[in-house]
Amino acid sequence: MSTAQFKEFRDQDYSRLRLSLLRTKGGQPQREFLESVRETPSFLSYMRYLPVVGSQSAPIHQERLVESEYKDPPADTETRLFYSWLDLTPRIACRTTFWAHLTCEHIEAGVLDSSFLAANGGSGSGGLERIDRALTEQNESQAKSIDSCVRTVLRRLGGIPDRGNRSVYVNCPFARAWWRERIVEQVSNGDEKVANSVRDLIRISQTYWENFVDRLVSRNSTFGSLQVRNAFILSLAKQVAESGNAELRNSKVMLRACRMLSAKQGSLELSVLERRELEELISTIVESVQLHS
Amino acid sequence: MEEGNLSYPNGRYIVDFEPGEDRRSFVLMHQVEGAPLINRLIEDQHASYVCVVSSPVSGYRETHIAGQSQQEVQWELDDLGEPPLFTPMIVCTRTCQLTLECERDGIHKIWDDLVVDFKAGSRLAVANVIQLRSSILQMLSMRKRDDLKEGTFFVDFETEPFLFVVNLSSGLHKFLRFAREERSRPHIMIHIVSACLALLQREFPSAEGEEGWKNDRSLNGLHNELNYHGIPGWGEDGFSPERAATILYPHKVPVDDQIENHG
């Protein structure tokens, strides 16, 4: 068991900062924060007053990332990030305080600029452009734009702890990379071919990943246990890779399979089944979704 | 099991539990009363005692299976992002076919002599989910602060998971930790609870949105507990922290004759 105490922002102080920034849309605290995010040195001095706890630093990625790579790292970058952070445990990897601190360390090391944090997803506007537009807007929607920009920054930094803690898995690029690759590792169990098909599956789109995470972290999860979750992902990945079935790449079809699995889990405790029996049952579900989609 | 329902055997499923001192284990005592059919399935090893340990925020779910009614479950702290949830149950672990007898199995006579399939995975009895952190007292984290003037404290919070951080002067910290029988201790604890509720009123007035308290399971539980006691939520009009604290934990005052003696 790892006993490492990784460095993170002290929860009390970071939570208070986050709450104070979200309290008033377009207010002075949000404006000052965005102005600091615009320039890396000012952002670092803004964040520097936050106390840090823990003693061990997670490794810093050595190559500088451009904004698009940071927002949506390619699969090989995500894999490299995960392997450099192998010592992390789920206990620390689900904490926004940890990822926010690690992201700030990457900004300090020059791996990324603080303005990247404000960038929209996909091919949306760049961070600097969004900040400037929000701060200079002269209409009634300015407060909303500033608020939206601040929320993007907080989400990218480490996530905003929301219902079920979903944000840390889906909004913070570094955390998302770690969780995705951890799932790849757990499901593939060292089989490189399986690993590639699982990686392709969970990286189909941000929506696909978000829908999947919703099912993963809710209290009444679709997946009664890790065995059920892993068998489900494996079955989906194999179907997509081997049959080339395009329908299963649609997140709505994946959600339909989740609902069917959930209904089955509602009537039977699937985690007590033998592995082969579980795999057969899940394959039947995934195949039937294909037939009826 | 469901008393009086023709479709289910009669009986009661009770689970007692004892958290381990190492914070990595938990002992459950499963008890089935008045349900001979379930006891028969367990004795014949068709059914087992099961406990699902989960920490949804870190995606952790592990199923523990035991043949004995006293079950110890263990986990690694590094896997959990919050205090774990426990779901105890009795589950059919081997598919079987049984001929039922109403007298022997404690079931309605309509089932007499019928052959019934029990599928592996069927839940025969399910207890309520056990969550270690369900009251405000379990949400307190008492911390010694040598820089505080003796006899003083202040309350702060953490959000991952939600905790009230009670910063105490060293003497106060020692007193609350060790002087559990002292008569003034409950009054100080009520003062602390009152301060915690005032903090919620100040810092978490909004229920909805990304910063809303509804996002946190512990705060949802606490809100439900307040409502159960007829106390309005901390974001509502009429909420009074000291009143809420003393409804949850009333001050115990001396009985009348003791007061007269003092007078």
How far is B65 from B54, CA to CA, in rounded Å?
14
Q: How confident is the model at residue A56 (pLDDT cuts 50, 70, 90)?
A: very high
> Roughly how many angstroms between the first and final C-alpha of chain A, as a whole number?
44
Instruction: Find chain B residues with C-beta within 8 A of A271's C-beta.
Output: 52, 61, 63
Gap between the Cα atoms of A124 and A137, Å rounded? 18
Q: Residue B48's closest chain A neighbor by CA? A: A272
User: Which residues in A lie closer than 8 A to residue B210 (C-beta atoms)?
Assistant: 22, 151, 160, 162, 167
Could you give the C-alpha distances from B61 to A202, A224, A234, A275, B199, in angstroms and in order? Answer: 20, 7, 18, 16, 33
Half-sphere exposure of B168 toward its Cβ, with a 13 Å CA cutoff? 21
Q: Which pLDDT score, from 0 to 100, does residue A40 have?
A: 97
CB contact under 8 A, A160 and B210: yes
Give the distance from residue B48's alpha carbon to the nearest chain A alpha carbon, in angstroms. Answer: 10
Q: Which of B65, B80, B216 sits opposite A272 (nearest CB)?
A: B65
CB proximity list for A7: less than 8 A, separation 6 or greater: A52, A53, A54, A55, A56, A57, A58, A98, A101, A102
Q: How far is A264 from chain B (nearest CA, A)?
A: 10
Q: Do B85 and A216 touch (CB under 8 A)?
A: no
The side-by-side arrangement of strands in the sheet containing B70-74 is B12-19, B25-33, B70-74
Size of chain A in residues: 293
The pLDDT assigned to B3 comes to: 62
How far does the CA of residue B79 sit from the closest CA of chain A (Å)?
A: 5
* pLDDT over threshold 50, residue A1: no
- Taking the CA of residue B242 and the nearest CA in chain A, the distance in Å comes to 24
A14 pLDDT band (50/70/90 cuts)? very high
Q: Do A225 and B63 touch (CB under 8 A)?
A: yes
pLDDT of residue B22: 74
> In whole angstroms, what separates CA A76 from the centre of its chain?
16
pTM score: 0.88
Q: What is the mean pLDDT of residues B201-216?
A: 85
Of the residues B82, B122, B210, B214, the best mutation for testing chain A's interface (the one with the most A CB atoms within 10 Å of its CB) is: B210
> Per-residue confidence at A84, pLDDT binned at 50, 70, 90?
very high
Alpha-carbon span A42 to A202, nearest angstrom: 36
What is the average pLDDT value for chain B, to the nearest integer?
A: 88
Size of interface A-B (CB pairs under 8 A): 123
Interface with chain A: mutation pick from B41, B158, B160, B203, highest number of A CBs within 10 Å: B160
- 3-class DSSP state of A182: helix
